[in-house]
Structure 1
Amino acid sequence: MNLIETENRTEELIQQFTALWEGSVRATHLFLSPEEIAEIKKYVPQALRGVARLVIAQDAQENPVGFMGVENQKLEMLFIAPQERGCGIGKKLMQYGILNYNIREVGVNEQNPQAVGFYTHMGFRLARRAEIDEQGQPYPILYMKLEA
């Protein structure tokens, strides 16, 4: 596996990442209906274009198998292809982000216990909880900070 940073966010790359996002969300965000996923998906390309740093995890054939977005010491997004989950890609991306971008914060859906467990395992601890997400939807968010 190879990690690369990308500045060139072509339409093809945005489409690949949006598809990867959707597969990851369908595998992990079991609290979302198919209609809710479709609605959120409309905003993914904009988020991918707008995040300050975008890091891609590629397999041996240079296909994207995961990605993360980082801005202002905060992990904004981390998604892994469903077939690659549990293989250490998320851990490698996080370690890279902590080392290179000083990631100290993450917001995670409370209803996604696998993600909460992952970030806890990576050393993040609950700082605060919000009843609604950043879009005003009724999905509680746990804001976690990396312990020193």
Structure 2
Amino acid sequence: MIEIRRSVPEDGSRVVEIWRRAVDATHDFLSAQDREAIDEMVCGFLPQVPLWLAVDEHDDPLAFMLIDNGHMQALFVDPARRGTGVGAALVRHGLALHPGMTTDVNEQNGQAVGFYERMGFRRTGRSPVDDQGRPYPLIHLVHSPASSSG
């Protein structure tokens, strides 16, 4: 059984572990230098920000989502739990709070693009670089309830 709850400071190390494992499994397009720089930035802020966590029956985090003003800034699932509905449960929770939620996804992460489209997101634009100006194009998405199948 998956439950959704807010993060607490004690979740910090597990959240960073989930982020690292998920990035290693899905972001093979990152250069080693960029991966290291992003890791340093993420470790500095991720444990401090309020997150939504999907947790198992033992209250162990399996995935997390960061939403800021209706924009999903991050969704990361432990690779051992991918395909089990954990990410979809978090997205549905986010959509219950923010029906017109937006997000950005790395264009090179085709599995994530497909996931969001299956969840009812539609493309609204594209940026040739990521938020830090690195050469990782982003696809901008908005949830469109009429097209949701998840």
- TM-score of the two chains, using structure 1 as the length reference: 0.89
Deviation at 1:70, TM superposition (A): 0.4
Matched ranges for 1:35-54 at <5 A: 35-48=33-46, 51=49, 53-54=50-51
Match of 1:130 among 127, 131, 146: 127
What's the counterpart of residue 93 of structure 1?
90
Unaligned runs of 5+ in 2: 146-150
Q: Find the residue that maps to 2:74 and give its secondary structure.
A: strand
Q: Secondary structure of 1:21's match?
A: helix
Deviations 1:53-75 (A, max 9, x none): 41011112211110000011110
- 1:16 pairs with 2:14: yes
Report the Cα distance in structure 1 between the residues aligned to 2:44 and 2:137, rounded to whole angstroms.
Answer: 23
Determine whether 1:117 maps to 2:114: yes
Quick one: percent identity of the two aligned structures? Answer: 35
CA distance in 1, matches of 2:139, 2:48: 23
Secondary structure at the aligned position of 2:51 is classed as: strand
Q: 1:66 aligns with which of 63, 67, 75?
A: 63
Residue 16 of structure 1 and its aligned partner are, at CA, apart by 1.4
Task: Using structure 2 for the length normalisation, give the TM-score.
Answer: 0.88
Distance in 2 separating the partners of 1:141 and 1:17: 23
Structure 1: runs of 5 or more not aligned = none
- C-alpha contact (below 8 Å) 1:70/1:103 kept by paired residues: no
Question: CA separation in 1, counterparts of 2:97 and 2:123?
Answer: 23
1:2 corresponding residue in structure 2? 3
Distance 1:103 1:4 in 2: 21
Work out whether residues 24 and 80 of structure 1, in 8 Å CA contact, stay in contact via their aligned partners in 2.
yes
Aligned residues: 144
1:62-101 deviations in whole A, cap 9, x for unaligned?
1111000001111010000010000000100000000023
The range that moved more, 33-42 or 65-74, is 33-42
Residues 100 and 144 of structure 2 are in contact (CA less than 8 Å); yes or no, is this contact kept in structure 1? no
| SS of match in other structure, 1:93 | helix
57-66 or 25-34, which deviates more: 25-34
1:49 Cα offset (Å):
5.0
Amino acid paired to 1:118: F
Question: In structure 1, what is the equivalent of residue 78 of structure 2?
Answer: 81
